Amino acid sequence: MNKSPLAPEKFPDMPAVSGVRFASANSGMRYKGRDDLLFAVMDEGTTAAGVFTKNSMPGAPVDWGRKILSGGTARALVVNAGIANVFTGAAGIETVEKTAETAASLLQSNPEEVYIASTGVIGELIETSYITDTLPGMLDSLSEDNCEAAADAILTTDTFAKGATATCQLNGKTVTINGFAKGSGMIAPDMATMLAFLFTDANIPAPILQELLSSENEKSFNCVTVDSDTSTSDSVLLFATGNAKNTAPSAAADADLADFKSTLLSVMQDLAQQVARDGEGATKFITVSVTGAETDTSAKTIALAIANSPLVKTAIAGEDANWGRVIMAVGKSGEKASRDKLYLKMCGIVIAEDGARSPSYSEDQIAPLMKRPEITIEVDVGVGSGNAYAWTCDLTHGYIEINADYRS
Amino acid sequence: MNKSPLAPEKFPDMPAVSGVRFASANSGMRYKGRDDLLFAVMDEGTTAAGVFTKNSMPGAPVDWGRKILSGGTARALVVNAGIANVFTGAAGIETVEKTAETAASLLQSNPEEVYIASTGVIGELIETSYITDTLPGMLDSLSEDNCEAAADAILTTDTFAKGATATCQLNGKTVTINGFAKGSGMIAPDMATMLAFLFTDANIPAPILQELLSSENEKSFNCVTVDSDTSTSDSVLLFATGNAKNTAPSAAADADLADFKSTLLSVMQDLAQQVARDGEGATKFITVSVTGAETDTSAKTIALAIANSPLVKTAIAGEDANWGRVIMAVGKSGEKASRDKLYLKMCGIVIAEDGARSPSYSEDQIAPLMKRPEITIEVDVGVGSGNAYAWTCDLTHGYIEINADYRS
């Protein structure tokens, strides 16, 4: 598979996050000639937060993550790519438990401090020994500098590794936030629509970390959709080692946390946008902004109706400003919108106002803009002050090619 | 565009419905070398019923139809293909009114007895003279036997004309129900997801006709989806001339109407299935049945989540029994479903039971069945007794080809 034309030029230079080490390996489970197993080890005292898919058929690793999250601490993360361990009944639970036990015994920690994520085909069983036999040999290669290899090991149909990094100030200390993600198809809110792992050396108690992750997730990973299909495996996890030794904040609303919070959001948005940029078959990155809706929630429903419309996405693939399909998508959302006040811009060009095509609009003006790789759609639906955005990609032959024959 | 491989062998032989005459012509509006304008004229005393799109950005013809429906009678139907007259403001309303006036003056009837439907591109204006200059010349060619030409004239990206016919008994008289439909993309409930016109010589008062149409629509046109995109133009209209001279029924629940009602449903289901069979790029006709849901409504939501899933549809296009995607789609529907009781059959083969892959399941058994043009998916979600079905088609390169370049 060729790298998406929308990919960033390169994986970012990631400074180490003190207290987090990565190793990756090929388990032999499904993929040949590439790593498919990630082992991340965190220092003692690391706090954890997580958000998981809302799909009601979650995989065994998601059930496990939800269960151990109440403990608030983490020592390890094990991720495999190739088989999702979803809809696998008792055998799937056993795989998760044995994986956690193996990692915990290697680290002399508690199995309930070992987070697990799996991505790949649904319904197939993982032969647990592929994981448990491989983990011990990975201990020696653990390193703080292996972030790109770690990001590579969790990919499935992705065409590039997705990483983001930033630093900020927290209570007088400089802290780092690193993240990487995978996701390319079966991507839709609600949550989390992909695997994303975030690591920071900040010292933040687990309940506050969870509040931050949940609120920023709404504005990042929950704004991206590729195909409206919500995965059964998706998980966003945030680990904080505390090695920056800042004074711990006492509440998520602390003014001291403002910089950390906005930096966390920027890292999460960067990763979320990279997922849309790597949408299966993507040739265009699309940003949909909706304003003037009844509420922010209503605006998001409308934004996602546009971002998920196969007709909107195929038109953009064809570099055709077929804006009537955007109107259709607003109307099918079921949300309140004024046909007679509706205002629509694409690529910065005013197309519709007051319920009809704008007198100033000409196709000649927009045609060259539709050839660009970045497309914007801005709609004001004229009924209130709710607003939201969504990121997606176009729907192309590439999506069909990838998905009509994924398992073979 | 080649004819869909799922098309019926031929357009059915349609007996005339007494009191309904058709003419078709090329208006010159958009299409060359084919008829794009339909003029149907009904005898005086014809009653009318209609159901329209729930899209909140309906076209001017839909607004018009909703308005005149309260009159209960119809003398004419004018349909154009090529431009949908949607999101066209005051100019669009004028087109509708002038069309109705022209037809009414030709028939010396009331404009509010002239139904109008338009299908095609959204947001473009119709130059009204294309319609109003063409209608007068069509009067001479009106004929009871022109049903197939009428069905042809309303098509856009359809690859075949869709017709269905049946007769039944009503209060001692034999009555005929004829119908034709168009629809291929931008097809999704709720309602009506296409244009469909039904004609009968039965004598049925308008309020009863409406009740019958609305109830049977739920079990036919509202069960079909191609791409989850609900059109702004969709209309299903039923006209009853009364020429069969049966004694009028006094209520929709009359036992005397049982045969008519089930016959109407069979004609509507036949047309709805033909729409899925002509889904843009379709190579497989898919029937999804859901049982064991909390309610019938919940079952329909689940059935449509499966039928609209791009991942399910691309897998079937690839003749791949990637059943995990069906599980995902059940889970993403947001409806109550028991992961541990879930039962799944595809093409008659038991794949999953009790929350895991069935021990008896083998891919070798299902692989040859996936090559057939008709695919069935049956899911029992194990929480209640609600059931529903949906019809759809696969998602192929053909869909992308048609829609990435529809307007050029």
CA gap A70, A49 in Å, rounded: 9
Across the interface, which of A91, A227, A355 has its CB nearest the CB of B89? A355
Q: Are residues B341 and B263 in the same domain?
A: no
Q: Are residues B304 and B390 in the same domain?
A: yes
State the smallest CA–CA distance between residue B119 and chain A in angstroms. 12
Q: Are residues B268 and B351 in the same domain?
A: no
A352-360, Cβ contacts within 8 angstroms, sequence gap of 24 or more: A352/A323, A352/A327, A352/B87, A352/B123, A354/B89, A355/B87, A355/B89, A356/B87, A356/B88, A356/B89, A356/B90, A356/B91, A356/B92, A357/B87, A357/B88, A357/B123, A357/B124, A357/B125
Taking CB atoms and an 8 Å limit, are B331 and A408 in contact across chains?
no
Burial class of residue B194, CB neighbours in 10 A (0-12, 13-18, 19+): buried
Q: Are residues A219 and A99 in the same domain?
A: yes
Mean pLDDT within B149-174:
92
- Residue B111, pLDDT > 80, answer yes
Assign residue A51 the CATH number of its domain: 3.60.70.12
CA distances from A121 to A3, A82, A156, A408 (A): 22, 6, 10, 11
Q: Establish whether B128 is a catalytic residue.
A: no
pLDDT in tens, chain A (408 residues): 688 888 889 999 999 999 999 999 999 998 889 999 999 999 999 999 988 887 777 889 999 999 999 999 999 999 999 998 988 888 999 999 999 999 999 999 999 999 999 998 888 899 999 999 999 999 999 999 989 999 999 998 888 999 999 999 999 999 999 999 888 665 554 333 478 888 999 999 999 999 999 888 888 888 777 665 666 677 888 999 999 999 999 999 999 999 999 999 999 999 988 888 888 888 999 999 999 999 999 999 999 999 988 889 999 999 999 898 898 889 888 899 998 899 999 999 999 998 888 999 998 999 999 999 999 999 999 999 999 999 999 988 887 777 776 554
Taking CB atoms and an 8 Å limit, are A336 and B56 in contact across chains?
yes
CA gap B280, B288 in Å, rounded: 19
Q: How many domains does chain A have?
A: 2
Pairing of strands A285-293, A374-380: parallel
Taking CB atoms and an 8 Å limit, are A311 and B227 in contact across chains?
yes
Q: Which amino acid is at B363?
A: E
Taking CB atoms and an 8 Å limit, are A407 and B337 in contact across chains?
no
Q: Which residues from chain A sit within 8 angstroms of residue B339, using beta carbons? A: 56-58, 87
- Residue B193, pLDDT > 80, answer no
Query: Is there a domain that residue B1 lies in?
Result: no
Which of B271, B243, B252 shows the shortest CA–CA distance to B178? B271
The pTM of this model reads 0.81
Q: Are residues B31 and B156 in the same domain?
A: yes
Mean pLDDT within B270-287:
88
From the CB of residue A292, how many other CB atoms can be counted at a distance below 10 Å? Answer: 20
Q: Which amino acid is at A296?
A: D
Query: Is there a domain that residue B138 lies in?
Result: yes
Query: Is there a domain that residue B14 lies in?
Result: no
**Alpha-helical segments (H) within A56-88:** 60-68
State the smallest CA–CA distance between residue A334 and chain B in angstroms. 7
Question: pLDDT at position B388, please?
Answer: 92
State the smallest CA–CA distance between residue A396 and chain B in angstroms. 6
From the CB of residue A252, how many other CB atoms can be counted at a distance below 10 Å? Answer: 18
Pairing of strands B235-240, A235-240: unpaired
Q: Which residues from chain A sit within 8 angstroms of residue B325, using beta carbons? A: 122, 186, 229
Q: How far is CA B264 from the centre of its chain?
A: 13
Question: pLDDT at position B226, please?
Answer: 64
Q: Which of B243, B277, B311 is the last residue of a domain?
A: B277
Q: B404 or A197: whose pLDDT is higher? A: A197
Q: Which of A275, A303, A319 is the last residue of a domain?
A: A275
Query: Is there a domain that residue A242 lies in?
Result: yes
Question: pLDDT at position A78, please?
Answer: 97
Q: Are residues A343 and A220 in the same domain?
A: no
Q: Are residues B249 and B342 in the same domain?
A: no
Q: Which helix (H) or strand (E) holds A260?
A: helix A258-277
Q: A324 or B405: whose pLDDT is higher? A: A324
Query: Is there a domain that residue B264 lies in?
Result: yes
Across the interface, which of B84, B333, B400 has its CB nearest the CB of A396? B400
Query: Is there a domain that residue B4 lies in?
Result: no
Strand runs labelled E in A195-311? 195-200, 235-240, 285-293
Give the chain B residue whose CA is nearest to the CA of A305.
Answer: B229
Domain that holds residue A193: 20-275
Question: pLDDT at position B190, please?
Answer: 38
Strand-pairing partners, residue B195, are B182, B235
Structure tokens at B120: 């095609």
Angle of helix A296-308 relative to helix A310-317, nearest 10 degrees?
A: 60
Assign residue A363 the CATH number of its domain: 3.10.20.340
Q: What's the pLDDT tens digit per position in B66-94?
A: 999 999 999 999 999 999 898 888 899 99
CA gap A203, A201 in Å, rounded: 7
Of A329-333, B344-348, B353-357, the range with the highest mean pLDDT is: B344-348
Query: Is there a domain that residue B221 lies in?
Result: yes
Burial class of residue A179, CB neighbours in 10 A (0-12, 13-18, 19+): buried
Structure tokens at B241: 């001339």
Question: pLDDT at position B120, please?
Answer: 86
Q: Which residues from chain B sit within 8 angstroms of residue A309, using beta carbons? A: 228-229
Q: Are residues A188 and A213 in the same domain?
A: yes
Taking CB atoms and an 8 Å limit, are B328 and A90 in contact across chains?
no
Cβ A370 vs Cβ A254: under 8 Å: no
Residues 6+ away with beta carbon under 8 Å from B8 = B160, B274, B277
Which of A146, A138, A153 shows the shortest CA–CA distance to A15? A146
Q: Are residues B385 and B265 in the same domain?
A: no
Across the interface, which of A57, A317, A336 has its CB nearest the CB of B400? A317
Q: Are residues A48 and A131 in the same domain?
A: yes
Taking CB atoms and an 8 Å limit, are A310 and B229 in contact across chains?
yes
Question: pLDDT at position B35, please?
Answer: 96
Angle made by CA atoms B75, B55, B287, in degrees to the nearest 5: 90
- Chain pair A-B, CB pairs under 8 angstroms: 229
Question: pLDDT at position B356, please?
Answer: 85
The band of B189, judged by pLDDT with boundaries at 50, 70 and 90, is very low
The band of B230, judged by pLDDT with boundaries at 50, 70 and 90, is low
Q: Which residues from chain A sit within 8 angstroms of residue B54, using beta carbons? A: 334
Taking CB atoms and an 8 Å limit, are A89 and B230 in contact across chains?
no
Q: B6 or A377: whose pLDDT is higher? A: A377
Which of B140, B142, B160, B141 shows the shortest CA–CA distance to B151? B160
Query: Is there a domain that residue B341 lies in?
Result: yes
Q: Are residues B301 and B226 in the same domain?
A: no
Question: pLDDT at position A202, please?
Answer: 92
CA gap B3, A194 in Å, rounded: 39
Burial class of residue B236, CB neighbours in 10 A (0-12, 13-18, 19+): buried
Structure tokens at B391: 């019809």
Q: Are residues A234 and A295 in the same domain?
A: no
Question: pLDDT at position A325, please?
Answer: 87
Q: What's the pLDDT tens digit per position in B37-53?
A: 999 999 999 999 988 88
Q: Which of B229, B256, B277 is the last residue of a domain?
A: B277
Structure tokens at A215: 């609120």
State the smallest CA–CA distance between residue A314 and chain B in angstroms. 5
